[in-house]
Amino acid sequence: MKIEALRTCDIGGFLTLAAGENWMSERWELAFLLSIFPQGCFAARSESGETVGFVTSICHERSGWIGNLIVADEHRGKGIGKTLFTVALGVLRTAGAKTFWLTASKSGLPLYQKHGFVGIDTIYRWSGEVRQSHASFEPLTDLRSLTRSEADVDFRAWGDRRPALLAATTRRGRFLHDGSGFIALQPCGDSVQFGPFSAVDSVCAERLFEAASRNVVPGTKVFVEAPALNRASRRIFHRKQMKIVGSNLLMYAGKKPNYRPELIYGLATMGSCG
């Protein structure tokens, strides 16, 4: 078994494995990670050259994320996932990350715990259909990129600057803000993901959600991934008749982050980059 750099031509193989696990993954994310942090993206190849596993990572200013760790079913139990994980973790350390993040399924939990990762929150995946609201809200500004105030809200939420990730995700669709928060509307197959989505309070968050909903065709399925510790998000999404359709454990290792889930209403990606 060889661990080699992930290549653009590997993306299709990853997407095939991800679809088999019912992951919501798209080509743009792998292409983005390869463009911004290629040294942290790897593929496992058998002696015959077959690609049987993948892992990606991204390094921000103080922290890093490990995501998209997957091994083909027939090759599991051989230590491939462990090797991919430890290689990616080592690259993040070399890059200067002090805090390491990931979201874990039950199957991956023992591996992460052995490497010092502890749970800090649960990430719920919410799903629902957009229903037009008749509530009266002042219009929000539609921008192509974050201003300093939005970047500062994200920094307060995660305890780190994440300019590349935020720029990539907010450029993918509509991006609305009002100075106290922001929400991106990203295409996700035939659906729409609301995220990154941060706000200083629940009033601002609900105003952003309503504005985003008015920019989506009625009946379109919407997904949001939000921290369980943000109880205001749960109240808002329940009122919007959304339901929890999945969850993963949010974990970290290394320096304890200045994590403020009450400011986070939607992650930027489906669990793999935060």
Separation CA 3–CA 19 (nearest Å): 22
Give the pLDDT confidence score for residue 146 in this predicted structure. Answer: 67
146 against 234, higher pLDDT: 234
pLDDT tens per residue across span 89-102:
999 999 999 999 99
**Residues 6 or more apart whose Cβ sits within 8 Å of residue 103:** 67, 123, 248, 249, 250, 251, 271, 272
pLDDT tens per residue across span 14-25:
999 999 988 888
Could you tell me the pLDDT band of residue 137, with boundaries at 50, 70 and 90?
very low
Give the number of other Cβ atoms within 10 Å of residue 18's Cβ. 18
pLDDT tens per residue across span 49-98:
899 999 999 999 999 999 999 999 999 999 999 999 999 999 999 999 99
Tokens 């290549």 identify what position?
7
Mean per-residue pLDDT, 3-13: 95
For residue 136, pLDDT over 50 is answered with no
Domains and CATH numbers, the chain: 2-97 (3.40.630.30), 123-266 (3.40.630.90)
Give the pLDDT confidence score for residue 9 in this predicted structure. Answer: 95
Separation CA 95–CA 170 (nearest Å): 25
Mean per-residue pLDDT, 31-47: 96
Share of the chain above pLDDT 70, in %: 95
Q: Is 114 exposed, middle or buried (0-12, 13-18, 19+ CB in 10 A)?
A: exposed
Q: Mean pLDDT across the chain, nearest whole number?
A: 92
pLDDT tens per residue across span 194-234:
999 999 999 999 999 999 998 898 899 999 999 999 999 99
- Up-side HSE of residue 154: CA atoms within 13 Å toward CB? 27
Give the pLDDT confidence score for residue 135 in this predicted structure. Answer: 47
Separation CA 25–CA 41 (nearest Å): 15
Give the number of other Cβ atoms within 10 Å of residue 219's Cβ. 9
